[in-house]
Amino acid sequence: MSETINEFRTAGESPRAYFRTATSTWVHRPECPHLVSTDAHAATVAERLQHPVCDDC
């Protein structure tokens, strides 16, 4: 069984933003300390599905 992730906290709210560095195997929330001093980019839909969310986020 696959799990559906609801990225909306309440109706009408924007989806959560995730970022990824070129060498990371994780996606990160903007406030994650792993993104400090990195050249992170907004994660694509494919990257968000392929990589787990960082445990520190």
Give a yes or no: residue 6 inside a domain.
Answer: no
First to last CA, the chain: 25
Give a yes or no: residue 14 inside a domain.
Answer: no
The range of the structural domain enclosing residue 33 comes to 19-50
Domain tally, the chain: 1
Burial status of residue 57 (CB atoms within 10 A of its CB: 0-12, 13-18, 19 or more): middle
pTM of this structure: 0.69
Give a yes or no: residue 55 inside a domain.
Answer: no
Give a yes or no: residue 56 inside a domain.
Answer: no
The string of pLDDT tens digits covering residues 6-39 is 554 555 555 789 999 999 999 999 999 999 999 9
